Amino acid sequence: MCEISVEVGHDVLKANEECALRNHHLLEYLGVTAFNVMGAIGSGKTTLIELAIDRIGEKYHIGVIAGDIVADIDADRFRRYDVPVISMNTGKECHLDAHLIEHALEQLPLDDLDILFIENVGNLICPTDYSLGESKRVVIVSVSEGDDIVRKHPMIFKTCDLAIVNKVDIAGAVDVDADKMVDDALRINPHVKVMKTSKKTGEGIDDWIKFIEVSTDAHR
Ligand SMILES: Nc1nc2c(ncn2[C@@H]2O[C@H](COP(=O)(O)OP(=O)(O)OP(=O)(O)O)[C@@H](O)[C@H]2O)c(=O)[nH]1
Ligand SMILES: [Mg+2]
């Protein structure tokens, strides 16, 4: 029994990797920089993507895939901007996968895009194993999850390019040391870029925008 389920799991991940590679090649060929934006529920994924569209939406052509278990709430937030948006509901699944992204890519004007933001389902475990074909993996946590949240989820931080500790404006109110979260991320992954951000005070938002610009310009 046990052996069979391990093999099935292995096959599912292998099939996902193959599909992710196809997505990756397509996006590379068309010069689209794709950001897989992962993170805890409510950590600020939609907010940080909205801020990016607001700041650099005129400089770059941006598209968005909004992943959610159900509903179009985040997709509707993105639709307020003048960007193409695809809503992807995963039903019971706690992560997007490469096949869902392949279908979303078919519906996007990829020839016209420079940047694709993929907002994954809010979860710090399930998205880790499922590559989507992205160029960069971003993980967002916020101080309200507690300052041990990074240590509790090492795998997702091991495999990301950028880790963001968001909502630092409320760190004092929830008795959290945001620098401890930054140190934990660097201890888990010494190569990761880490930044502290706040939509309220604007702290770190320039760094977030610069990360997107540098990653995108490297592709052009
Ligand atoms: N104080 C404060 N609130 C923030 C900040 N960033 C986001 N928020 C608030 O946090 C809440 C959740 O933000 P979202 O951007 O919807 O978070 P999300 O990660 O997309 O949430 P899900 O998609 O539901 O997982 C909203 O009420 C935001 O206004 C921040 O830097 N500081
Ligand atoms: Mg969201």
Q: Which of 47, 125, 198 to mutate to test the pocket of ligand 1 (most atoms within 8 A of CB)?
A: 47
pLDDT at 185: 98
- Ligand in closest contact with the CA of 38: 1
Closest ligand, as measured to the CA of 76: 2
Strands of 85-89's sheet in order across:
85-89, 62-68, 115-119, 33-39, 136-142, 162-166, 193-196
Structural domain boundaries of the chain?
Answer: 2-217
- The span from the CA of 77 to the CA of 40, in Å, is 18
166 within ligand 1 shell (Cβ under 6 A): yes
CATH of domain 2-217: 3.40.50.300
Nearest ligand (C-alpha, residue 78): 2
Instruction: Name the residue at shortest CA distance from atom 12 of ligand 1.
Output: 42
Q: Give the number of the atom of ligand 1 that is nearest the alpha carbon of residue 74.
A: 23
For ligand 1, the distance from its centroid to the CA atom of residue 167, given in whole angstroms, is: 8
H/E run at residue 88: strand 85-89
**pLDDT by position in tens, the chain (length 220):** 555 555 666 799 999 999 999 999 999 999 999 999 999 999 999 999 999 999 999 999 999 999 988 889 999 999 999 999 999 999 989 999 999 999 999 999 999 999 999 999 999 999 999 999 999 999 999 999 999 999 999 999 999 999 999 999 999 999 999 999 999 999 999 999 999 999 999 999 999 999 999 999 998 7
123 CB within 6 A, ligand 1: no
Q: What is the whole-number distance in angstroms between the Cα of residue 45 and the centre of ligand 1?
A: 7
Q: State if residue 120 touches ligand 1 by the CB under 6 angstroms criterion.
A: no
**Residue 46 Cβ < 6 Å to ligand 1:** yes
| Cβ pair 57, 85 in contact under 8 A | no
Distance (Å, rounded) from C-alpha 125 to C-alpha 130?
A: 10
**Which residues, listed in sequence order, are joined to residue 65 by a DSSP beta bridge?**
86, 118
pTM of the entire predicted model: 0.95
Of residues 192, 14, 155, the one with CA closest to residue 97: 14
Of 188, 187, 208, nearest in space to 197 by CA: 208
Q: From residue 69, how far is each of 33, 91, 97 by CA, in Å?
A: 25, 5, 13
Does residue 49 contact residue 117 with C-beta atoms inside 8 Å?
yes
94 CB within 6 A, ligand 1: no
Q: CA–CA separation, 56 vs 108, rounded Å?
A: 19
